[in-house]
């Protein structure tokens, strides 16, 4: 049973990944990527990491929903009503990717992998939490800072008005010129 599920998820993950770049419709491409990443989440669950697998499934579902909105916003042919291609250097890229796969496969098949050491804890999620709050605290703090920096950076990049728009060319305006009043004391 486990083997059947593995093969099903593995084949679907790779085929879904390939179809992302073959569909003309942006919505189909997005849902194909979603299917591929859901299969990755399923494989992670199959390996005994239930919590991380479910996190991947939930995160990817939301992420791809947002991706679909952006695809419709920016792509010139979101419905895929006419054939189109948006690729460059297809042959060169195929050669590079083929070579990378051959190298990776050779490494995977020829490397003397170490034998399994220890056995999985009864609750891997607890183990992960203890690790992130203990020996891997620096990793957790770095991720936290990266997430915070991303929030600030995305707001700065996505906003239409910069500080020069608000406070004038020399930034000396006493009151910022905002379209809507708000904030502390304004």
Distance in Å, CB of 79 to another protein, minimum: 15
Location of structure tokens 């591929």? 36
Q: What is the rounded distance in angstroms from the CA atom of residue 8 to the CA atom of residue 98?
A: 23
The tokens of 121 are what? 């804890």
Nearer to another protein, 135 or 182 (CB): 135
Location of structure tokens 């992130």? 132
Letter string b/e over residues 100-109, b meaning 16 or more CB atoms within 10 A of that residue's CB: eeeeeeeeee
Nearer to another protein, 65 or 173 (CB): 65
Distance in Å, CB of 166 to another protein, minimum: 17
Q: How far apart are the first and last CA of the chain?
A: 64
Distance in Å, CB of 81 to another protein, minimum: 17
CA distances from 49 to 10, 104, 140, 141, 153 (A): 17, 24, 19, 23, 32
The tokens of 107 are what? 């490494």
Nearer to another protein, 143 or 173 (CB): 143
Distance in Å, CB of 33 to another protein, minimum: 5
Nearer to another protein, 11 or 173 (CB): 11
Q: What is the rounded distance in angstroms from the CA atom of residue 129 to the CA atom of residue 72?
A: 38
Distance in Å, CB of 172 to another protein, minimum: 25
Nearer to another protein, 79 or 97 (CB): 97
- Beta-carbon count within 10 A of 134 CB: 9
């Amino acid at each position: 049973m486990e083997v059947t599920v593995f093969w099903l998820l593995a084949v679907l993950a790779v085929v879904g990944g390939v179809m992302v770049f073959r569909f003309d419709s942006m919505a189909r491409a997005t849902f194909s990527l979603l299917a591929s990443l859901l299969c990755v989440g399923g494989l992670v669950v199959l390996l005994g990491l239930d919590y991380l697998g479910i996190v991947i499934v939930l995160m990817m579902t939301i992420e791809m929903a947002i991706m679909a909105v952006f695809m419709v916003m920016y792509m010139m042919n979101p419905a895929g009503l006419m054939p189109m291609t948006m690729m460059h250097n297809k042959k060169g890229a195929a050669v590079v990717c083929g070579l990378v796969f051959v190298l990776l496969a050779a490494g995977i098949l020829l490397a003397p992998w170490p034998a399994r050491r220890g056995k999985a804890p009864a609750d891997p999620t607890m183990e992960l939490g203890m690790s992130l709050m203990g020996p891997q605290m620096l990793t957790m703090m770095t991720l936290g800072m990266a997430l915070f920096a991303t929030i600030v950076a995305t707001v700065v990049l996505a906003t239409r008005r910069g500080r020069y728009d608000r406070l004038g060319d020399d930034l000396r305006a006493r009151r910022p010129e905002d379209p809507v009043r708000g904030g502390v004391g304004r």
